[in-house]
Structure 1
Amino acid sequence: LGVSERQLRRRCQVAFGYGPKTLARVLRMRRALGWARAGVPGAEVAVRAGYADQAHLSREVRGLAGVPLSALVAVRGPVS
């Protein structure tokens, strides 16, 4: 990217409100949510998105969104 680690962190903080690691977690969760909404089974969603297992996916979603994956899947609308 041509910027230092500190500069990347600062730019992410300004643009997104959190650092690059959290951004990566959010983007991975969004991909998983898209597959889950498309009807892909939970275990396969976890594998496709790069989680260790379905339990890891569940913990990550609850940690980031504060609700279980099923609650997010039930809400129709764009993945944002």
Structure 2
Amino acid sequence: MSKTVSTISELIDQWPTIADFASAVGCGYEAARQMRRRGSIAPKHWARVVDASAAQGIEEISFAWLAKHAVGLEAVE
């Protein structure tokens, strides 16, 4: 069963710790912490986030989902 998330923070919270998320997507802890705080993930990380999310059982995460949840784009459908 796929997990459902509706925000970047909820996505990152699917890992036990921010450090685990950072390791899964190949970025530093501080970068991951800032992603969670801002509620946005830089496009350069999207491919790894999509792959790591699928491995975590969060299959709804795609480039389109990440673009929709980019800061300032929440209203874009």
Larger helix proportion of the pair: 1
TM-score, normalising length: structure 1: 0.29
TM-score (norm 2): 0.29
Greater C-alpha radius of gyration: 1
